[in-house]
Amino acid sequence: MSHPMVVLQEIVKRFGHNTVVQNLSLDIHRGEFLTFLGPSGCGKTTTLRMIAGFEQPTSGRILLDGESVQDRPAYERNVNTVFQSYALFPHLTAYENVAFGLRVKRVPAAEIDRRVKQALRLVQLEDFAKRKPEQLSGGQKQRIAIARALVNNPKVLLLDEPLGALDQKLRKQMQVELKHLQKQLGITFIFVTHDQEEALTMSDRIAVMHHGVLEQVGTPDEIYNRPATAFVAEFIGETNLLRGKAIERTADALLVECEGFRLTAPLQADIREQEPVVVAVRPERISLSLSPADTPERICLPARLSERIYTGAFTRTVVTLADGKTLVSHEKTDELLPVGQGDSLYVQWNPAHAVVLKP
């Protein structure tokens, strides 16, 4: 009977002629922290708003805890939202903001008081109950917004870029707190962000969206190390993309030829022989050396050093291949290869760390 908490079935959303979400299907599990990640305009917020009930899907179904809810208005769905702008009611105190949902549901006064105080304690703002939103700092508003949503015991908590307005330091702190809160309460969190680092840090699973299409769903590790599409590879972290062609398909592997090298990669069902492909390699997987690799399995290409940019723990090193194509490598700053600009060197990587994708 353990059905998923939220099921999105073939969701399509159009605004006029503009298709914002294209045929999205996704199961979100009980107690999961799932993040919709993508650039602005990719349809992630619209998807969240459809789950909340602020938008109706043009077609498709939304199941919440097994019940079909796509035609129910927001106020009849047991989900709550933490808004990007917090959306605290300016005319009500922090306490009354948190109590709002319980009051409109006509919960008995004594219970309201108990639950509101508990929620305020949860976000450590018991002493700020009497303040109006304008008297609270950004981080405090944020916590009140979370308390206001959680006090209703929602089945799912929706968070629409809730940390976007906070400064860097507070943001990191809130990321940890939110994750901690989610584990403690065991509530399903659906989080929307365009910040890939935030998504990687907090999520159990990430759903990457682009132009209304769900590009990939997976754990942060899968998304980072085994991107399913060129877009995912490029959007999450930095990556090197090399153009090539699939030349041979065997039972479980694919032989790919790029300019200057060949590699074998696990078979991708939808890539056929003679089709163009891209090979994605993360900069930290690329190492630099003065002499060619000693093991033939490693890919090794001659190059020249073009540029080095110091970024702290690692240095971003740009090298140029014989054909003029540039690659980026992340070198440990205290183990830099002793070469200067324009010097010859070799770049090499383990083909197992490369991912073959459709362009």
Partner 1 sequence: MKSSVTTSPVRTETPAALKPKRSRDYGRLWTIGPVVVWMGVLFLLPLLLVLAVSFFSRSTFGGIEPPLTANNYIRFFDPLYYKILWVSCVLAFTTTILCLFLGYPFAYVVARAPVHLRNLLLLLIIVPFWTNSLIRTYAWIVLLRTEGVINTVLKALGLIAEPLPMLYNEFAVLTGLVYTMLPFMVLPLYASIEKLDKAYLEAAADLGATSWQTFWRVTVPLTAPGIMAGSLLVFIPSLGLFFIPDLMGGSKAVLIGNLIKNQFLTARDWPFGSAASIILMALTLLFIGGYLAVTKDKEGKGLT
Partner 2 sequence: MRLSFAGRLGAVYAALIYLFLYLPIAILILYSFNKSKLNAVWTGFTVDWYLKLFHNSDVLEAMNTTLIVAAVSTLASTMIGTLAAVGMYRYHFRGKTALDAMLYLPIVIPEIVMGISMLAFFAQLKIPLGYLTLIAAHITFSVPFVVVVVKARLAGFDKSIEEAAMDLGATPWQTFVKVTLPVIAPGVIASALLAFTLSVDDVIISFFVAGPTSPTLPLKIFSMVKFGVSPEINALSTLMLMVTLLIVVIAERIRLRKS
Q: Give the whole-angstrom CA distance, residue 30 versus residue 17.
A: 35
Among 11, 21, 37, 88, binds partner 2 (CB under 8 A): 88
Closer residue to partner 1, CB minimum distance, 71 or 343? 71
Return the range that interacts with partner 2 (CB under 8 A); candidates 67-75, 205-213, 283-291, 334-342: 67-75
| Partner touching 72 among partner 1, partner 2, none, CB below 5 to 8 Å by kind | partner 1
Q: CA nearest 263: which of 251, 250, 253? A: 253
Q: Is residue 204 a contact partner of residue 34, using CB atoms and an 8 Å limit?
A: yes
Quote the least distance from Cβ 72 to partner 1, whole Å: 6
The SS3 call for residue 13 is: strand
- Residue 104 engages partner 2 in binding (rule: CB under 8 A): yes
Q: CA nearest 300: which of 224, 351, 253, 264? A: 351
Q: Give the whole-angstrom CA distance, residue 99 versus residue 119.
A: 10
Return the range that interacts with partner 2 (CB under 8 A); candidates 51-59, 256-264, 281-289, 326-334: 51-59
- Residue 182 engages partner 2 in binding (rule: CB under 8 A): no
Among 3, 10, 89, 130, binds partner 2 (CB under 8 A): 89
- Residue 264 engages partner 1 in binding (rule: CB under 8 A): no
The SS3 call for residue 355 is: strand
Residues 6+ apart with CB under 8 A from 5: 28, 29, 30, 31, 32, 64, 65, 155, 156, 188
Which helix (H) or strand (E) covers residue 113, if one does?
Answer: helix 109-122
Q: What are phi and psi of 313, to 5 degrees?
A: -60, -35
- Residue 136 engages partner 2 in binding (rule: CB under 8 A): no
Taking the CA atoms of the chain, what radius of gyration do you get in angstroms? 25
Which of the 8 DSSP states describes residue 239? -
Among 43, 53, 162, 283, binds partner 2 (CB under 8 A): 53
| Partner touching 148 among partner 1, partner 2, none, CB below 5 to 8 Å by kind | partner 2
Among 2, 76, 91, 334, binds partner 1 (CB under 8 A): 76
Interface mask toward partner 1 for 40-59; x: CB under 8 A: -------------x--x---
Which helix (H) or strand (E) covers residue 20, if one does?
Answer: strand 18-28
Closer residue to partner 2, CB minimum distance, 20 or 288? 20
- Residue 78 engages partner 1 in binding (rule: CB under 8 A): no
Closer residue to partner 1, CB minimum distance, 79 or 181? 79
CA angle in degrees (0–180, nearest 5) for 173-175-180: 100
Among 14, 30, 61, 72, binds partner 1 (CB under 8 A): 72
Residues that bind partner 2 (CB under 8 A): 52-54, 73-76, 79-81, 83-85, 87-91, 100-101, 104-105, 148-149, 152
Residues that bind partner 1 (CB under 8 A): 53, 56, 68, 71-73, 76
